[in-house]
């Protein structure tokens, strides 16, 4: 007698083996995705921090989040204005233009083509804070403390090594 198909038992054994292999392999892949996000977050923060230091150098110590208004007084910028200061050109007083082409007046920047993305929530916007731990809520990509020119990840919890995401 010639067999043309697999028996039900043979199919069940194959499906069981595939299920066991998937149960072993899936956690490994999930862990790698988490590690990749952690690494990307550290790289994005490194980039944000280095570019804000460059901003400070080009603006005589003035950090993003501040600008001198037409009256010559130091003013606080909104979170949207901070993003604009980093992705558009600015003058040395921190006043931003709305484009990325340098001119005689707007001679500084841009520091990013687009704001970096938080790899955990895919957001690139900024929340201005005074206390990182109290204000981390995952609503934006980044937390920025303009008084100290510090960027942090707006993500709560700990990474695979037990480090708090706010401590990155």
Residues 2-48: pLDDT tens digits?
777 888 999 999 999 999 998 888 877 778 889 999 999 999 999 99
pLDDT of the residue at 88:
97
Residue 110 preceded by cis peptide, ω within 30: yes
Q: Which two tokens stand for residue 63?
A: 């950090």
Answering whether pTM is above 0.85, one says no
Check whether 60 has a pLDDT greater than 90: yes
């Amino acid at each position: 007698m010639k067999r043309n198909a697999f028996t039900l038992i043979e199919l069940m054994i194959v499906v069981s083996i595939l299920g066991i292999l998937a149960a072993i392999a899936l956690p490994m892949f999930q862990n790698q995705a988490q590690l990749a996000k952690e690494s990307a977050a550290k790289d994005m923060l490194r980039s944000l921090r280095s570019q804000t230091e460059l901003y400070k150098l080009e603006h005589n110590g003035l950090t993003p989040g501040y600008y001198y208004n037409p009256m010559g007084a130091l003013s606080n910028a909104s979170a949207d204005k901070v993003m604009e200061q980093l992705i558009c050109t600015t003058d040395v007083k921190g006043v931003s233009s709305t484009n990325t082409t340098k001119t005689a007046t707007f001679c500084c920047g841009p520091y990013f083509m687009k704001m970096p993305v938080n790899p955990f929530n895919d957001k690139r916007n900024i929340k201005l804070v005074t206390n990182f731990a109290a204000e981390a809520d995952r609503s934006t990509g980044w937390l920025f403390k303009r008084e100290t020119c510090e960027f942090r990840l707006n993500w709560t919890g700990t990474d695979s090594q037990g480090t708090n995401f706010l401590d990155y």
